[in-house]
A and B are shown apart, each in its own frame.
Chain A
Amino acid sequence: MKPRALGLKLLALLFAAALIGLWQVAADARLVSPVFFPSPQRTLAALVAMEERGDLWRPMAATALRMFYGWVLASLLGVLLGAAIARSGPARAYLEPILEYLRPLPASAIIPPAILFLGLTSKMAVAVISFGALWPVLLGAYHGFRSVDPQLAEMAAALRMGSVSFLWKVALPSALPDIFAGVRVSLAIALILAIVTEMQSAQSGLGFNILMAQRSFRSPELYAGIIVLGVLGLCTNQVLLAAERRLLRWRTLAR
């Protein structure tokens, strides 16, 4: 590594450390009321206490699981719908306008009807999450399947490939980068909606826990919960990025 790059890395670490140090000093000096501005030390202590009480992994698993189910459902549905709309003229004509109208609808706006239908259940949460997470995958898949190289399609026709095997063997791999872009946005939305549905319907999970921490003015726990949610978002995104690199390795190899 060049000394300059190393120096910048060190500076980056130093910057983060300085921010946390500043936070500690400001909190210790009580520049802001400790009621809503706990020091990093107290936040860390709250995090450790949460872990010891068993208030960390179980709610995290509950949140992550609902997020995961909703996201998987949305991804499957999004790819199927996206492929159908992209590769079929009639489907495009009939479905595109209604999807265009639904797309800007805030996903959280379907929470009230979802509660009326499904009650305050996990099923409701998964339904809301998958509705919200659907759109980025759908758009990504649509774009990906639309922009399949026409030469590839001609070649497949010349080889007398059936339409199913064409979709599976040619169109899907070529649409995969766009699908992945959509799927990653969807994952972030799924986490957001998992938190929102928990807060709205009092289901156990990290989102509900931070809301409870706020109601009882346990601000260190609130900060700890926000940090954990950030880490959850960061980690899931990294996992997907790694999967993407693996699955799309053939693209870089082919060049």
Chain B
Amino acid sequence: MTGKWRGLVIPVILIALWEIGARAGILPPDTMSQPSLIAVAGWHALLDGSLLLATLQTFQSALLGLALGAAVGIAIGTAIGLSPALEAVIGPTLDTIRPVPAVAIIPLALLIYGFGVRMEVMVVSFAAVWPILIVTVTAVRAIEPRLLEIARMLEMRPLRRMAEIVLPAALARIAIGIRVSASVALVVAVTVEIVLNPQGLGYGMIIAAQSLRPDLMWAELLWIAFAGWLFNMLLLTIDRRWLRRFQVGGVR
């Protein structure tokens, strides 16, 4: 318990110094604001619903992009994982596309879809595809070969083999890739909003900064950090509580 409390020492000291410095006029009010004002601004944004609406918008884009990225990543990853020949053929092309930074897609997505949810989803899914794809390949490779032999012996059709043998056996590992991609998705969604998409939490921060509301800007920053932290905790819990069950048997 004492260990937990010690973690609070530095943040509390920093916030206290911040408040004192701002009140004494040492810190510039138009950039630093002060913790008490930030708390008030954050409270008002929470009450009038603007913060929650922005949060919903950001998470909507992040989750849709994640779902799209996961679908593509799992599909390609399973195919490559099951067939080394296929990997030799399309692997090099994928390796060439992968280093393209997702944010470089932003102007292209804007050109195609204009502002809004769809362009953000496109950028997010491009970023979210890779961790899932890579993990899926290794997960499918690690499936007990005897399981695949059984599927062959039972003369299962490819789709059924996929749904009943391959995916359940690889799911626990794929979940790790999805968790990585999920945090990437949130980061990319906020980034797209900060760069140019007029919606969500990132845009809220930009507007607060440009309309000289440093208190609101800091409140939104803290909120984004909190939402990101909560999201990660949630994913970890889902992974531990629920998906670990599949690990028995299927994956070595």
Contact = CB atoms under 8 A, between A and B. Distances in A.
B103 A207 contact: yes
Interface in B107-121: 107-108, 110-112
A233 B187 contact: no
Contact of A233 (B3, B99, B191): B99
Contacts, number: 159
Interface of chain A, main secondary structure: helix
Residue of A106, A116, A222, A230 with highest tally of chain B CB at under 10 A:
A106
Interface residues of B, number: 56
Interface stretch (B69-77, B85-93, B138-146, B160-168): B85-93
Interface string B186-210: 1100110011100001100110110
B194 A196 contact: yes
A124 B6 CA distance: 32
A31 B110 CA distance: 19
B10 interface: yes
Interface residues on A, range: 35 or more
B8 to A, nearest CB: 7
A199 B101 contact: no
A21 B86 CA distance: 20
Contact of A12 (B88, B106, B112): B88
Interface in A95-145: 95-98, 100-102, 104-113, 115-117
Interface of B: 3-4, 6-11, 30-31, 85, 88-93, 96-97, 99-108, 110-112, 183, 186-187, 190-191, 194-196, 201-202, 205-206, 208-209, 214, 217-218, 221, 224-225, 228-229, 231-232
Interface of A: 5, 8-9, 11-13, 15-16, 19, 35-36, 93-98, 100-102, 104-113, 115-117, 188, 191-192, 195-196, 199-200, 207, 210-211, 213-214, 217, 219, 222-223, 225-227, 229-231, 233-234, 237
